[in-house]
Amino acid sequence: MTLTTRDILLFCAVFGLIAATGFFQSWNVALGIFNMGLISAIMALGVNMQWGYAGLFNVGVMGFVALGGLGAVLVSMPPVPDAWAAGGLRLIVALLAGAATIVAAIQTWKRMGKGLARTAAMIAILVIGLVIFRSLFDGAVEAIERVDPAVSGYLGGLGLPIVLSWPVGGALAAGAAWMIGKTALGLRSDYLAIATLGIAEIVIAVLKNEDWLARGVKNVIGLPRPVPYEIDLQRDPDFVERAASWGADVATASAITVKLAYAGLFLTVLVLILVAAQLALNSPWGRMMRAIRDNEVAAEAMGKDVTKRHLQVFILGSAVCGLAGAMMTTLDGQLVPSAYQPLRFTFLVWVMVIVGGSGNNFGAILGGFLIWYLWVMVEPLGQTLIGLVTAGMADGSWLKDHLIDSTAYMRLLTMGVVLLVVLRFSPRGLIPER
Amino acid sequence: MDLLNAVVALLNFVIVPAVAYGSQLALGALGVTLIYGILRFSNFAHGDTMAFGAMATILATWGLQAGGVSLGPLPTALLALPVGIAATALLVLATDKLVYKFYRAQKAKPVILVIVSMGVMFVMNGLVRFIIGVDDQQFADGARFVISARDFREMTGLDEGLAIRTATVITVVVAGICVAALFWFLNHTRTGKSMRAFSDNEDLALLSGINPERVVAITWIIVAALATIAGVLYGLDKGFKPFTYFQLLLPIFAAAIVGGLGSPLGAIAGGFLIAFSEVTITYAFKKVATYVLPEALEPQGLVQLLSTDYKFAVSFAILVVVLLFRPTGLFQGKAV
């Protein structure tokens, strides 16, 4: 499982493209693309574990990424003591009551004999539990959201360093994946797709509407950063001196230093995950996963518990997506629930995996960088193209205005066409599985 | 009198909207279930096919309106429907020829076709946004109400009004006609019977001389018609916005799976089940409760089980329950 010359050339070509942006536009832009490329590559690795190793179709990447972002807020933001005093305890009791209700209902279903009595008991437990939950929960939420709604109105986080939130984000996503996997795995492959589509929509709805959790559509801004702020660097005399010795102006130098620091952090995570993923793929476990993917019936005949293995790899892959989501929120420095669009987060990551080469970790990484670069670059290219097309038309004609207004949607079309063409003519992707 | 008021309030805010929404979902789910039965994959592009059909119809409607054509009290969009259906049918037939046919010939795994349909969704979504933009479009014209709330109150002397919108009536009538026509077609025509045979057992159908490409082409045309009609009805009822059609995908799939993928009757039942649950669970029952309950028991809150923002959670929860307890759906579809 080594890289061939061709693979290395492909990687060089993609990094060359990004470097060209640095030479011809600005290094700030190029590093921005590189950083998001790193995060995209990690997301693609997560989806590749699910699809490439095991053939599981996850259409809810967006939901897991958003859960990672929630993890970043919950870990890093300072707690809001007034909100905790107003209703924190009551809220936690309410959530515990809700969880206890569900556990009790499940246990009743499992323990009692089949029949009308069982159904009636379960419904009774659910109804009583819901009434208790709502009576505690509604009051707590109201009290918390009334605490200074313009700046907080939520419980805040734990006030810990934000880097700690990355594994936490992964764990949140893993928990959601466990719930989905438990219900939908073991049934037809399409059902998992539809269930993940649903959970992603619900995660986003929760983020948008539960103000006590992460301020909803009011957004959480100003997350603490793991790297220094540009403004502090610019005030630091040492840094100013060094910038002068490089012959760059202070503002650019500080922006680039910050981006490089992020790049170092993200690169470390990417390399760690890549090494782990490669080791797993080449271990007996990885061979078993691929055997299951290629022939479930045969693997089952060999005594492998297909559903359990699927659940395992589904949780792992989702956790990686959650981790990447927490990293992305760290990079953005804010959590904006309305920014989570399925086309941008779920389907773009899928294009990355398919184009890069499903089943190959290096392929997923290459796809992550390449597709992210294209996603950023298609828009200016599209504008140029439309500019050329419309150059001959009269100014102010409705068609010209309409075409110019619509360039923003060019990239959806382009990405769709790229996906279809790759699937049709080169289904194994740029760096195929070996 | 209070009881009557409660019934009218319930009719006005729960039953009438749920019947309209249920008809739209049922038409959408019928399309999904037909594709599943004949072509054997879950078509993720269905929501955007609906959006495309609605868009084509809107463009034709604008053309008609500019030409001064109108249907009087009925929305002009009904007249434009055939144009929309034709455009959508051409689009899906072209997609089938360019994209799906290759995988069918290869006998690719269903999950590959699902991914391919995702790519198609991407392209259609881009196409719709490229042509009409992402904004809300209002294209309903003609009379807005059959009975407005005020007329109803004056007529009956009740406190509560029952408003019946033209869009609601049209939705129910058109959906009824479509479903009747579809079932007649499937059960009584030669082509319809060959489609059912193909869905039940592909090999036997091929053996008895059924032309598979013809069956597939007819399926796509029917699906295009259903999707366009569903999209236009939804647009007339709630306004056209490309993104909402993508979001409809979840309730539509939930409806099709709850009824049993591949079962047309199940798709209709599923559509209404999902719609009624969604509306009932997200409706604030305070008003109804105030009429029915004695004053001492009057509720403090809104008596709303779930805020309307979580209506997707309802279809999702129903989906999960069905997957857990009866994965083949209520009407024994073919999927396990």
Domains of chain B, by residue range, sit at 2-325
Residue A431 lies in a domain: no
pLDDT at A1: 53
pLDDT tens per residue, range A201-231: 889 999 998 888 888 888 888 899 998 888 8
pLDDT at A66: 95
pLDDT at B336: 41
Residues A75 and A87 in one domain: no
Within 8 A of A354 by CB-CB distance, chain B residues are: 115
Q: Tell me how close the Cα of A269 comes to any Cα of chain B, in angstroms.
A: 29
Q: Tell me how close the Cα of A96 comes to any Cα of chain B, in angstroms.
A: 19
Residues A225 and A105 in one domain: no
Q: Which residue of A has its CA nearest to B312?
A: A202
* Per-residue pLDDT of chain B in tens (336 residues, 90 and over written 9): 688 888 888 888 899 999 999 999 999 999 999 999 888 889 999 999 999 999 999 999 999 988 888 888 888 889 999 999 999 999 999 999 999 999 998 888 888 898 899 899 989 998 998 888 888 888 888 788 888 888 888 888 888 888 888 889 999 999 999 999 999 999 999 999 999 998 888 889 889 888 989 999 999 999 999 999 999 999 998 889 888 888 899 999 999 989 888 888 999 999 999 999 999 988 888 888 888 877 777 777 777 777 888 888 888 888 888 888 888 888 866 644
- The answer on pLDDT for A45 being more than 90 is yes
Residues A52 and A101 in one domain: no
Within 8 A of B127 by CB-CB distance, chain A residues are: 413
Domain with residue A304: its CATH number is 1.10.3470
Within 8 A of A358 by CB-CB distance, chain B residues are: none
**Mean pLDDT calculated for residue range A33-48:** 95
B323 and A202 within 8 Å at the Cβ level: the answer is no
Picking from A155, A172, A206, the residue at the C-terminal end of a domain is A155
Within 8 A of A195 by CB-CB distance, chain B residues are: 316, 319-320, 323
Residue B41 CA: distances (Å) to CA of B44, B103, B104? 9, 11, 11
Residues A98 and A246 in one domain: no
Residues A197 and A345 in one domain: yes
Q: Tell me how close the Cα of A361 comes to any Cα of chain B, in angstroms.
A: 20
Q: Structural domain tally of chain A? A: 2
A59 and B127 within 8 Å at the Cβ level: the answer is no
A405 and B119 within 8 Å at the Cβ level: the answer is no
Within 8 A of A138 by CB-CB distance, chain B residues are: 301
Tokens of residue B180, six digits: 């009747």
Question: A71 lies in which domain range?
Answer: 5-79+156-425
A350 and B309 within 8 Å at the Cβ level: the answer is no
Q: Which residue of B has its CA nearest to A201?
A: B312
Residue A128 lies in a domain: yes
Residues A184 and A333 in one domain: yes
Nearest to A191 by CA among B336, B5, B201: B336
CB of A220 closer than 8 Å to CB of A197: no
Residues A134 and A30 in one domain: no
Q: How many CA atoms lie within 13 A of A211 on its CB side?
A: 18
Task: Select the residue of A59, A342, A423 nearest B119 (Cβ to Cβ).
Answer: A423
pLDDT at A87: 85
Q: Tell me how close the Cα of A274 comes to any Cα of chain B, in angstroms.
A: 25
Within 8 A of B111 by CB-CB distance, chain A residues are: 55, 57, 189-190, 193
Tokens of residue A371, six digits: 């597709």
pLDDT at A236: 86
Number of Cβ pairs < 8 A linking chain A and chain B: 128
CATH tag for B2-325 (out of 2.40.30, 1.10.20, 2.60.40, 1.10.3470): 1.10.3470
Residues A74 and A147 in one domain: no
Residue A95 or A191, more confident: A95
pLDDT tens per residue, range A8-28: 999 999 999 999 988 888 888
Picking from A155, A174, A206, the residue at the C-terminal end of a domain is A155
Residues A203 and A243 in one domain: yes
pLDDT tens per residue, range A273-301: 999 999 998 999 999 998 988 888 899 89
Report the percent of chain A where pLDDT is more than 70: 99
Within 8 A of B131 by CB-CB distance, chain A residues are: 406
A195 and B41 within 8 Å at the Cβ level: the answer is no
- The answer on pLDDT for A143 being more than 80 is yes
Mean pLDDT of chain A: 89
Q: Which of B46, B323, B328 to mutate to test binding with chain A, by most A CBs within 10 Å of its CB? A: B323
Picking from A155, A184, A215, the residue at the C-terminal end of a domain is A155
Residues A269 and A139 in one domain: no
Helix A250-281 vs helix A284-294: crossing angle, to nearest 10: 80
pLDDT tens per residue, range B242-268: 888 888 999 999 999 898 888 889 999
pLDDT at A142: 86
Task: Select the residue of A189, A354, A406 nearest B110 (Cβ to Cβ).
Answer: A189
pLDDT at B226: 96
Task: Select the residue of A57, A405, A412 nearest B111 (Cβ to Cβ).
Answer: A57
Within 8 A of B51 by CB-CB distance, chain A residues are: none
pLDDT tens per residue, range A250-280: 888 888 899 999 999 999 999 999 999 999 9
- Establish if B101 touches chain A: CB-CB under 8 angstroms: no
Report the percent of chain A where pLDDT is more than 90: 42
Residues A219 and A355 in one domain: yes
